[in-house]
Each structure stands twice: as structure tokens, then as C-alpha cells.
């Protein structure tokens, strides 16, 4: 058996691998950039080796430095995780050259499937259904336009060496194609050091469903069923589940058979995933094969009871798989949600900073948290913004969703903005609960962006009642400790939500409170005390968890995908507030402000330039993604306040207009 594993990665996947290795009594080595010296993976590993400065190109992508770490530590195996060098043929060969075992497929299989153009050709040869498209690389805009016209719009531009949702763009017409082609090439070169691009037909209203396979060195290839990964934003998966609510047994068996056939055709060994696009008629088409562990592998582990990392290690050590296809069993339903450091209200722009508070829900009873951060850790601009993965399991899909919703409400993150409230809104969305998914779900359901303050009336009423209760409890404590209290214990309040006012009365009972509001009344009991971030309550017999922030009569409450700011006032104070003059609003319409922290890749205009609405003004790169900033209206450029290569802060002035 392998004795020491070097983990050639960072973040939650590095921690995930280290946990399994330790459970198998295998020592671990973490390689870290200077930004990750105090990371959770560095704390967990038996040894650490610093391999360079924060940019991945100078650390986690440096094969020579990782090989040197293998040799200096005596590691006899390397697990690459996902991303970075996990699907790099040269790295797998270099590991073998250093005398260590690469915990993954043979280099030839990585090469065959890592190039998306070659993979598509091999899939066809293996009898796997593929998406119609241009057979080969397109080298320029004109060739791309001709290929797209022959295929028929809409088309998908894709990086040949791509993966993880990067280097992909949809083009509905020639203008978008030409602009997207250059951007795709730049992103591909930045992310994969390979700017080759190909084009294929974009399947409309598709589902993204993938098959998990395992193959050993003794000729056994099995699949472990499917994962539904259709909830995506910008081609990045957000919520995954197993099994799919869409597939029937016949389609599942056919997809599994084709996935195994492809794996056999390239001599695959280890864990891998064959991804498919599935249309509304359950016709499926090969998308790509990921020759590594997937981010969403925990949902498969929950329903099968298998540890995929352990199986990868045992396969790499030469052991045969301990089961056959006929012995694979699945139980219940599992869902995974990816918690990112991003602001869903501001167009999902990345958020960086220190995690001043990081309190995941308690694990166990169908709840699992995979993370690579700790309280006090820094979320950096250099890496993927994932904070954690939350995975839940239940006897059926409804139970798994309910458990996910409750766990998200309990996930406390401060210091950076997270997408937790958006994830909660997704899992509580009626269409999601009904299983009517497609990769266009988010674009269709949130065409104007995500607005957590626009909530259904029953949920808004619940939060209004909770705010009134919080203020009642806070005022009562102030009276008990002798602090001045304006309201003398009066439990009549005006709860303001924006411009709307709700008169509320809170009356204590033997086991809680009765709260009267304009729509009726509700009973509520809780043990909450002022200062606690989580309020757990029984509301009309139903358990609910609300996150509480703020104080002094102004509260920010988060619950079930809603985020509301509420002000609680005594009635006479609310009346006086009506007489206050409105606060003037500063006019920022003359400025283009950076919507995120990032690197200014380019500025497309000069002082004195006349621009039209929709014109490209600048390009900012953050968290490995390019973001194009466009003019909102016609105007004339007065001053350029930032230059190409500048590191920008949120709301920093980039361009000023006359």
C-alpha cells in the first residue's frame, strides 16, 4: 500500500484527500503557495512544502517545483485533485519520472480525453453519441463564422483544453461569435496555456447529466449511476444531485453503457466522469470526459456509500475493484450546493477578504460539509472563489431538499459576501422542487438578476413577525439590566420594510408569543437571546432558522432564500419619521466603477471618445474569469482613471464621462 501521498492541490479538495489518506493510515504532504501557508490543508497535512508565490502559474501549475517536493519528501504517490494539473499529461509523466505513483488515469488516457477535439473523435469511434459540430480547431474569426453558419446558430465556442466551465461562450449570431471568439481564446490561454477553440451546436433547453465511472488495472470498468448538474451559471455548476429526477432506467443504462465503452476504448484506470447533454426527449450527446475526481463526487458517495478517493488510491496501488456492476447499489437521494464568495445581488461578482466568521451547520444525520477554509482565513483573488460544498442526503428527493434548505439557513459566513441566500432560493424554488431543470434555469427564472428582498408575501410576513419578536426580546433584556428603554416595554411596533409599514403586536404566552400582524396572527416560540446569529423558532408548529444581523432597531434577516432589512419602531417614532427630509443620493452616473476586485485587462476607449450604449469600455479579470464592462448609455469619455494592469478595488473609478 502507498505510504505517503503528496496532494498537488489546495482548498477543499486537498483537505478531502488528506482526510481519506489519514483514515487509511497514509501520511500526507501539502504543497502550498505563500498565500496558503496557514490554509486548512496546510494545518491538516503531516508535512508542507512551499512552492511559490500566490499566482497559480508560479506555484500550483509549476510541475518542476512539485516534482522537487516529491523528491524532497519521499512521497511515493501524488493525488492531483481537480483543476490545476489534474488533467495535465506532462505532470502525470513527470510524477512517474520522479518514481511516484500518479493517483489517476494513465497519461495516454488523460491526453486522449483532455483534448476536447480528440475526445469527440474517439467518442464517435467508440459508438458514443456526440453533439453535431465542426470537426477540428477553428483558427480565426472568419473560419469560426463560416463553421457556425454551416452548423446553424446558436453555437457554443469551447476551449479545446478546457474544463470546469471556463473557456466557453454561447453565440446566437455572427457579431456575438466574433466578439466571443477572441474572448474565449484569451480565457483559454490564461486558464489552460492553450488557446485552441472549436465550435459545436448549442443544444437548447438541455440538461447536463454525467456518469461516474471507475476502472481498475485488471480490466473491470463500472459506472456508479448519474449526477444531474443542470443548475449552472456561466457554465459553472452550482447545485448537483444524484440520481437525476429526469432519467428513466432505460436511458440511465444506455448512458452508463456508453460511458464504460468510452473508458475501455482509451484504457482508462481510476475514477472518471463522462459528461452528457440531454435534450427534452432524453436524447443524450457526449460532452466531454473528465479524467479526474469531480467537485460533485460527494453526492455519488452519499447514495452509494463508497469513498471515491479511497478507491482511487487502491486502484493506483494495483488493487482490483471490490465489486462488479451488478453489485452497485444506490440508496436515497443526495444534493450538493457550492458555496462561493460572490455577491448574488451584484451580478454574482466575486467577493474577497477575511472570513471573520465561518460557522458551517453541524455535520451528521444526512449533512456533510467539505471545505478548505477556516475562520480567519483569507479569500484571495488568485483562486477559485469556492468556500465550501454543502451536501445533504435523504430517503427521497424532497427530504434531501428540505435538509439542504435548513442547512443553508444555518451556514454562517461573515467578512465576505457568499451566495448562500441564492442557493437557498434555488432549492426552495417551486420549479426546482418539481425537478423541471435545464442549464438555462437561472437565466429563465432570474432574467433581471437575483433580488432576495423580493419575496413572496407569506415569507415576508414571517420575517416581519420575527423582527418584531427580536426587538421585543432585546428591549425586554435592556429593561432587565437597567439600560434606558424608550418604549417602556410596549410591544406594539411598526416594522418598516422599504417604504412599506406593518403594524405588529407581540404578546407573550405561557410557551412563547402570539404575534398579530395585518394578515392575521401566528404563534412563535424560541430560546433566542440577543447577540446570537441564529434564531431557531417553532412558527405555527414548523421549525425555522433565521440568521440575524444588525441591532438597535435595524435588523437584517436571512431565511429560505430571502434577505430583508427591517426597521422596528414604536408607533410614535414611526410617525415622526414621516416628517424627516429625504437623504440626498449621490449621482454616480458619470462614472464607470469597477463592480468587483480584479485585474484591469484592457481599456477600450480614450479621453474624448464618443461611446454608444452597449459599447465595450473595459475588461476586468477576477477569479479566473473575464468580465466585459459596457456603456449603459451614450456619452463622451472625459477621463480615464485606471490603466491596463492595475489591480482594482470594488467601486474604484475606472472611467469618468462628461
* Rounded Cα gap, residues 575 and 230, in angstroms: 50
Which residues are CB-contacts of 362 (< 8 A; sequence separation ≥ 6)?
Answer: 410
Residue with cell 498565500: 35
575's enclosing H/E stretch is helix 571-577
Q: Is 228 a catalytic residue?
A: no
CA distance between the termini of the chain: 70
> Looking at 87, 241, 288, 621, which residue is catalytic?
288
Task: Report the distance separating Cα 241 and Cα 254, nearest Å.
Answer: 19
Distance CA 658, CA 653 (A): 14
Run of H or E including 612: none
What is the side-by-side strand order in the sheet with 77-79?
47-52, 27-33, 4-7, 77-79, 101-102
Q: How far apart are CA 48 and CA 43, in angstroms?
A: 9
Task: Write out the E strands in 475-597.
Answer: 492-497, 500-509, 512-517, 520-526, 534-539, 542-551, 554-559, 562-569, 591-593
Compute CA 410 distance to the chain's CA centroid, rounded to the nearest angstrom: 18
Distance from C-alpha of 433 to C-alpha of 452, rounded to nearest angstrom: 18
| Alpha carbons 658 and 608: distance in angstroms, whole number | 9
**How many Cβ atoms sit within 10 Å of the Cβ of residue 389?**
23
Calpha distance 511→603 (Å, rounded): 63
Q: Are 12 and 82 in contact (CB under 8 A)?
A: no
Please return the burial class of 198, using the count of CB atoms within 10 Å of its CB with bins 0-12, 13-18 and 19+.
Answer: buried
Distance CA 35, CA 26 (A): 26
Residues assigned a catalytic role: 288
Amino acid at each position: 500500500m502507498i505510504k505517503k501521498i503528496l496532494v498537488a492541490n489546495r482548498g477543499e479538495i486537498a483537505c478531502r484527500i488528506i482526510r481519506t489518506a489519514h483514515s487509511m493510515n497514509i501520511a500526507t504532504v501539502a504543497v502550498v503557495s505563500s498565500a496558503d501557508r496557514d490554509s486548512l490543508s496546510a494545518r491538516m497535512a503531516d508535512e508542507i512544502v512551499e512552492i511559490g508565490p500566490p499566482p497559480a502559474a508560479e506555484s500550483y501549475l509549476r510541475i518542476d517545483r512539485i516534482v522537487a517536493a516529491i523528491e524532497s519528501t519521499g512521497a511515493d504517490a501524488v493525488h492531483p485533485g481537480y483543476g490545476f494539473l489534474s488533467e495535465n499529461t506532462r505532470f502525470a509523466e513527470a510524477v512517474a519520472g520522479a518514481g511516484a505513483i500518479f493517483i489517476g488515469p494513465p497519461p495516454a488516457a488523460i491526453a486522449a480525453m483532455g483534448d476536447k477535439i480528440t475526445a469527440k473523435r474517439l467518442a464517435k469511434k467508440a459508438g458514443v453519441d456526440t453533439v453535431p459540430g465542426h470537426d477540428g480547431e477553428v483558427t480565426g474569426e472568419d473560419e469560426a463564422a463560416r463553421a457556425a453558419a454551416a452548423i446553424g446558430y446558436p453555437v457554443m465556442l469551447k476551449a479545446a483544453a478546457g474544463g470546469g466551465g471556463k473557456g466557453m461562450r454561447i453565440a446566437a449570431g455572427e457579431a456575438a461569435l466574433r466578439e466571443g471568439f477572441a474572448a474565449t481564446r484569451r480565457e483559454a490561454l490564461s486558464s489552460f496555456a492553450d488557446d485552441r477553440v472549436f465550435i459545436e451546436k448549442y443544444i437548447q433547453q438541455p440538461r447536463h447529466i454525467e456518469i461516474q465511472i471507475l476502472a481498475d488495472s485488471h480490466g473491470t470498468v463500472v459506472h456508479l449511476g448519474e449526477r444531474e448538474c443542470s443548475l449552472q451559471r456561466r457554465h459553472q455548476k452550482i447545485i448537483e444531485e444524484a440520481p437525476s429526477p429526469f432519467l428513466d432506467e432505460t436511458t440511465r443504462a444506455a448512458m452508463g453503457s456508453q460511458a464504460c465503452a468510452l473508458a475501455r476504448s482509451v484504457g482508462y484506470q481510476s475514477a472518471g466522469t463522462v459528461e452528457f447533454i440531454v435534450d427534452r426527449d432524453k436524447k443524450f450527446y457526449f460532452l466531454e470526459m473528465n479524467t479526474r475526481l469531480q467537485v460533485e463526487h460527494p453526492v455519488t458517495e452519499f447514495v452509494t456509500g463508497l469513498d471515491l478517493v479511497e478507491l482511487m488510491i487502491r486502484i493506483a496501488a494495483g488493487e482490483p475493484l471490490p465489486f462488479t456492476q451488478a453489485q452497485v447499489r444506490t440508496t436515497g437521494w443526495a444534493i450538493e450546493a457550492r458555496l462561493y464568495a460572490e455577491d448574488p445581488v451584484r451580478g454574482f461578482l466575486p467577493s474577497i477578504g477575511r472570513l471573520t466568521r465561518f460557522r458551517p451547520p453541524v455535520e451528521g444525520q444526512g449533512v456533510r460539509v467539505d471545505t478548505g477554509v477556516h475562520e480567519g482565513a483569507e479569500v484571495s483573488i488568485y483562486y477559485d472563489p469556492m468556500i465550501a460544498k454543502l451536501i445533504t442526503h435523504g430517503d427521497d428527493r424532497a427530504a434531501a431538499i428540505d435538509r439542504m434548505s435548513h442547512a443553508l439557513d444555518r451556514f454562517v459566513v461573515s467578512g465576505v459576501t457568499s451566495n448562500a441566500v441564492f442557493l437557498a432560493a434555488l432549492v426552495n424554488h417551486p420549479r426546482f422542487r418539481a425537478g423541471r431543470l435545464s442549464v438555462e434555469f437561472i437565466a429563465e427564472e432570474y432574467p433581471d438578476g437575483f433580488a432576495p428582498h423580493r419575496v413572496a408575501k407569506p415569507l415576508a410576513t414571517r420575517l416581519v413577525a420575527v423582527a418584531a419578536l427580536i426587538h421585543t426580546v432585546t428591549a425586554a433584556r435592556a429593561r432587565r439590566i437597567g439600560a434606558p428603554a424608550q418604549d417602556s416595554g410596549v410591544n406594539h411596533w411598526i416594522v418598516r420594510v422599504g417604504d412599506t409599514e406593518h403594524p405588529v403586536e407581540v404578546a407573550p404566552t405561557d410557551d412563547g408569543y402570539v404575534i398579530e400582524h395585518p394578515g392575521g396572527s401566528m404563534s412563535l416560540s424560541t430560546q433566542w437571546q440577543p447577540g446570537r446569529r441564529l434564531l431557531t423558532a417553532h412558527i405555527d408548529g414548523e421549525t425555522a432558522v433565521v440568521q440575524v444581523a444588525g441591532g438597535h432597531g435595524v435588523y437584517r434577516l436571512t431565511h429560505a432564500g430571502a434577505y430583508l432589512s427591517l426597521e422596528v419602531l414604536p408607533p410614535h417614532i414611526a410617525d415622526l419619521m414621516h416628517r424627516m427630509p429625504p437623504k440626498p443620493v449621490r449621482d454616480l452616473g458619470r462614472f464607470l466603477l469597477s463592480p468587483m476586485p480584479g485585474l484591469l485587462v484592457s481599456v477600450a476607449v480614450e479621453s474624448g471618445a464618443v461611446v454608444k450604449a452597449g459599447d465595450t469600455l473595459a475588461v476586468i479579470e477576477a477569479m479566473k474569469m473575464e468580465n466585459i464592462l459596457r456603456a449603459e448609455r451614450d456619452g463622451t469619455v472625459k477621463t480615464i482613471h485606471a490603466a491596463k494592469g492595475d489591480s482594482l478595488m470594488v467601486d474604484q473609478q475606472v472611467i469618468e464621462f462628461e
